[in-house]
Amino acid sequence: TRSTSAAYRRGAMSRQALRERLGDQAFFRLLPAGTKIHRYGNADTADFVRLAQKISGQDLTDLFQKWIQTTGKPAL
């Protein structure tokens, strides 16, 4: 459906924005770290944000606010 398609595109776009912000080295450490930590459980967006900030050493509040917590597609 149209809304499902938009959700997938926005998710992919937000990950790309995160990759550009962190750089490849930190970004590609983040993905398997999250999977390993939550292998037998669940994680939510807040868990992902905390892990991304810990691995990168950056405050990513503005990025996640822009890409995850607002409606509409952010300007690129």
CB 34 within 8 A of CB 4: no
CB 53 within 8 A of CB 26: no
Q: Which runs of consecutive H residues, i.e. helices, occur in the chain?
A: 2-22, 24-37, 45-56, 61-67
- 47 Cα distance to chain centroid: 10
pLDDT value at residue 5: 58
Q: Extract the tokens encoding 71.
A: 């409606």
Convert the pLDDT of each residue in 8-65 to its tens digit.
677 888 999 999 999 999 999 999 998 999 999 999 989 999 999 999 999 999 999 9
Place of tokens 């992919």: 12
